[in-house]
Amino acid sequence: MSTLTGKVAVVTGASKGIGAAIAKSLGAAGASVVVNYASSKAGADTVVDAITKAGGKAVAVKGDVSKAADAQAIIDAAIKAYGKLDILVNNSGVYEFGPLEAVTPEHFHKQFDVNVLGLLLVTQAAVKHLPKGGSIINIGSLVSRITPPGSSVYSATKGAVDVITGVLSLELGSKGIRVNALNPGLTVTEGTATAGFVGPEADFEKDVVSKTPLGRIGQAHDIATAAVFLASDDAGWINGQLINAAGGAR
């Protein structure tokens, strides 16, 4: 029997990259999946198609997590489609890098509204339905530990995710709901490729590899398999943890 058979999961920001990989892996493990997207319906539909062709169940749901009504609607769609909710993966995130002099209110709010407020709004809507044994997985980032130059706002959002994970693990633990953060290191995705962080000529990737004991950067499936574990009952005694998925990079 698959480890997540009978479970229902919502994955925000799941039309590409790490979110898409997590959604597919949850589906392969037996969960029925709500694939949330903000703008790329085509990407979300591709993820849904991959899950269903593999014998799983999935639906695509549009919604901007930084808007309260949309956050509620994403969770409502899960309940309407599958009647319950067991797993929430808060993956939606945006990033913009720049030095201190480039920080503007717009730069700040764009990232904090999605990465922090969005996480809180979706979680707020979800906890009304999550049962004892439910799992919330917040996708943070290794940047909260390594604080690279030019990432003051983005790293701050991921530091906030770390702190919120700890707080909510205490608030929701009495209800039997586990809250953990999964913090990837540099990972190959459409976004990191477009930004020039990864690729054959990317100095950033070469630098990260040189500092990673396992000698490579991450693939989306590396993060997805860890998320499946945290979502499962096998991780039933794991709560309030910040788990680096970065090949030993620190």
The residue ranges of every structural domain in the chain are 8-244
Rounded to an integer, what distance in angstroms lies between the CA atom of residue 208 and that of residue 246?
Answer: 10
pLDDT of amino acid 1: 46
Distance between CA atoms of residues 216 and 113, nearest Å: 32
Judged by average pLDDT, the poorest of 66-70, 117-121, 203-207 is: 203-207
| Mean pLDDT, rounded, for 131-159 | 97
The DSSP 8-state label assigned to residue 114 in this structure reads: I
What residue has token string 């997805």?
224
What H or E segment, with its residue span, contains residue 228? helix 220-231
**What integer is the mean pLDDT of 87-93?**
98
Residues 170-195: what's their mean pLDDT?
96
Mean pLDDT across the stretch 81-91? 98
143 exposure class (CB count in 10 Å sphere: 0-12, 13-18, 19+): buried
* Count of beta carbons in the 10 Å neighbourhood of residue 137: 28
What DSSP assignment string belongs to 85-113? Answer: --EEEE---------GGG--HHHHHHHHI
Q: Are 231 and 129 in contact (CB under 8 A)?
A: no
Q: How confident is the model at residue 2 (pLDDT cuts 50, 70, 90)?
A: confident
Amino acid at 114: V
111 phi, psi to nearest 5 deg: -80, -45
Half-sphere exposure of 226 (CA within 13 A, CB side): 23
Report the pLDDT averaged over residues 220-234. 98
pLDDT band at 28 (very low <50, low <70, confident <90, very high): very high
Q: Which of 61, 58, 62 is closest to 32 using CA atoms?
A: 58
Q: How far is CA 87 from CA 63, 78, 81, 96, 123, in A?
A: 18, 11, 15, 29, 11
Kindly list the catalytic residues.
154
Q: What pLDDT sits at residue 53?
A: 98
How deeply is 9 buried, as exposed, middle or buried, from its count of CB atoms within 10 A (0-12, 13-18, 19+)? buried
At the top level of CATH, the class of 8-244 is alpha beta
